[in-house]
Structure 1
């Protein structure tokens, strides 16, 4: 892609911004995590960018769990988790067999579709909706394995459940910590991790932590509806860019 031939400083700037967004998204508004996916995918091959973002997300997950570990709705998590593993398997197959260009456009399509879904008015669903939980788990597993883009899926599901902000963040923190850890052996089996990738992730870890600390500071001060609208518009533009470039 265009930025993959850019100077090293530009590549590191893009990855550093992706790390900052990843940390912020984990402790504030998850929709911003889409920027991490888009930024990494513009400076790295699609499959490698998925692995790079995964390392950043694992650091962000640790920050989010440390902050919101007491606020999770474990009943909702238990309803979704059984369908996540089949979703991960579907995503791993796609990741292994789709060519780079097609995979990149698939990532963009997934992001754009999820952004469009978030614009629809969604009624709150009853807590015992097993079908919705299964669909959310499958979608989250497949999207997170192929594009690290399960955030919009779970946002739709948790918002429809009517969770308040604190429970939303706590439930998301524990859910994604577990899902992302499950993705590690899949990514490793696909040969996406190497020494350079791991060292790069370690170098960017402090930036993720910084983003998480900023997120903690602003989440209670920024009006949620305004921020969500800005994130949705920016995410839609980024998704279109992935599809068209």
Structure 2
């Protein structure tokens, strides 16, 4: 692996930590970087382990702000989405998967922009159908592309969730989802020795990013938060689609 590749992975690890404790959309850039530097399927496993490192920090820091009642409506639909994502990973070739990741992120970014311009009525976000659709879409998106952040953003914004409640609920949700993804990824043989060692080397960088994110979140307004999520998603999606 070249020095440039190592630097890019280090920056991506920093963004993973930052995304977990501040601006979730920035994590989409890390997903794009890993998919550009590594074979796409290998990148999904490598980034999963680093996401779990950031999850632990985020859950611990925001544990008192998570909305468990809201999560209870989402969780039943997540496992079918994860199972479908595992099937896709097993059958789709590397280049197709990379483009699918980019297309998925771009579609979700457009949905976020539509939501920002014409807010979805709260009753839609509160319906059981919306919760089931969000859970299933999040499971599929996170299994295939580690890209369920924008899905959750749409749902939580439609709920009118305040920033710290947003961060706490997202942290607990993704920690549980990422733990569920471990056996799927292991069953597909994605955790090679090199992937594990790469995680060990990059984990301290994730922790540094999480620390920076915690300090940034305290100063970040809701409007800036939404703008940053959208910008990060668009940039990362375009990077994958045009490659």
TM-based fold match above 0.5: yes
Q: Residues 147-203 of structure 1, C-alpha deviation per residue, up to 9 Å, x if partnerless?
A: 000000001001110111111111001000000000000001001001110111011
Q: 2:21·2:210 contact (CA, 8 Å) conserved in 1?
A: yes
Q: How far apart, in 2, do the equivalents of 1:216 and 1:158 lie? A: 20
Aligned position for 1:195: 193
Aligned position for 1:178: 176
More helix by share: 2
Taking only aligned residues, the RMSD between alpha carbons, in angstroms, comes to 1.3
Aligned position for 1:3: none
Aligned position for 1:102: 96
Q: 2:28·2:232 contact (CA, 8 Å) conserved in 1?
A: no
Q: How far apart, in 1, do the equivalents of 2:231 and 2:126 lie? A: 32
Q: Runs of at least 4 residues of structure 1 off by over 4 A?
A: none
Aligned position for 1:167: 165
Aligned position for 1:153: 151
What SS does structure 2 have at the residue aligned with 1:70?
helix
Say whether 1:16 aligns with 2:10: yes
Q: 2:25·2:228 contact (CA, 8 Å) conserved in 1?
A: no
Say whether 1:242 aligns with 2:240: yes
Aligned-residue offset at 1:227: 4.4
Within a 5 Å distance, the mapping from 1:211-222 to structure 2 comes to 211-222=209-220
Q: 2:16·2:26 contact (CA, 8 Å) conserved in 1?
A: yes
Aligned-residue offset at 1:8: 1.9
Say whether 1:84 aligns with 2:82: no
Q: 2:52·2:175 contact (CA, 8 Å) conserved in 1?
A: yes
Within a 5 Å distance, the mapping from 1:118-157 to structure 2 comes to 118-120=112-114, 121-126=118-123, 128-157=126-155
Within a 5 Å distance, the mapping from 1:5-84 to structure 2 comes to 8-84=2-78
What SS does structure 2 have at the residue aligned with 1:119?
helix
Aligned position for 1:4: none
Aligned position for 2:111: 117
Unpaired runs of 5+ residues, structure 1, are: 1-6
Unpaired runs of 5+ residues, structure 2, are: none
Larger deviation: 107-116 or 123-132?
A: 123-132
Aligned-residue offset at 1:225: 1.8
Q: 2:81·2:136 contact (CA, 8 Å) conserved in 1?
A: yes
